[in-house]
Amino acid sequence: MKPVLLVLAFAAAAAAQSTSGYIFVAPGGATGSARTEATLQAGGGVEVALPKHFGAGVELGALSPIGSWGDATLGVFSASGYYHFIKGKKSNIDPFVDGGYTLFFHSGSANLYHFGGGANFWASRHVGARVELRDQVASFDGTIHYWGFRLGVAFR
């Protein structure tokens, strides 16, 4: 019974916080061993604002080499911590940095970490454009960087 109460308390606290969401497409590449293969990633996520300019979020998407959607497509799950340089809804520009854990999955899975930064440009109180550069780093048989220039829509 106590775990149920804890989950309900956490859900109520999260609902009281400011949340935002986004969808994106990200042309980019997979770079490793002095070679880059063009990729395309797409997905969406949600972020909960925390005190003192911080935030926490999750996202789900897919990443594939250009022209190889299907068998070569990877599922991508990420959990991120954010730091926003400007707090609140008073500014139309919301620059941020982020980093955290990434899971690639298909027939198996791989653990990665990611980091990046960008900005939300709020056109109205509830809708804006999102621009971000993110690097998802894997250490398989060497280091591979799955980087992308993300362009999307943000909403709150």
Kindly report, residue by residue over 72-131, the tens digit of the pLDDT: 899 999 999 999 998 766 789 999 999 999 999 999 999 999 999 999 999 998 999 999
pLDDT of amino acid 2: 45
> Does residue 152 register a pLDDT over 70?
yes
**Cβ–Cβ < 8 Å for 57, 36:** no
* Structure token pair of residue 111: 């653990």
Tokens representing 25 are 């497409």
- The rounded percent of the chain whose pLDDT value lies above 90 is 75
pLDDT of 7 over the 50 cut: no
Cα separation, 117 vs 34, whole angstroms = 24
DSSP result, 10-58: HHHHHHHS-EEEEEEEEEEEEEETTEEEEEEEEEEEEEEE-STTEEEEE
The phi-psi region of residue 72 (left if phi > 0; otherwise alpha if psi is between -120 and 50; otherwise beta) is: alpha
pLDDT of residue 67: 79
Alpha-carbon dihedral angle through residues 75, 81, 86, 92, given to the nearest 10 degrees:
20
CA nearest neighbour of 147 among 58, 50, 31, 69: 31
| Higher pLDDT among residues 68 and 20, named by residue | 20
The pLDDT value recorded for residue 17 is: 58
The whole-model pTM stands at 0.84
Tell me the pLDDT tens digit for each residue of 31-71: 998 899 999 999 999 999 999 999 999 999 999 999 777 78
Better-predicted residue by pLDDT, 91 or 23: 23
pLDDT score of 140 = 77
Residue with tokens 């019974």: 1
- pLDDT band at residue 11 using 50, 70 and 90 as cut-offs: very low
pLDDT in tens, 121-130: 999 989 999 9
CATH tag, 17-155 = 2.40.160.20
For residue 144, the number of C-alpha atoms closer than 13 Å in the C-beta half-sphere is 16
Q: Residue type for 126, please?
A: H
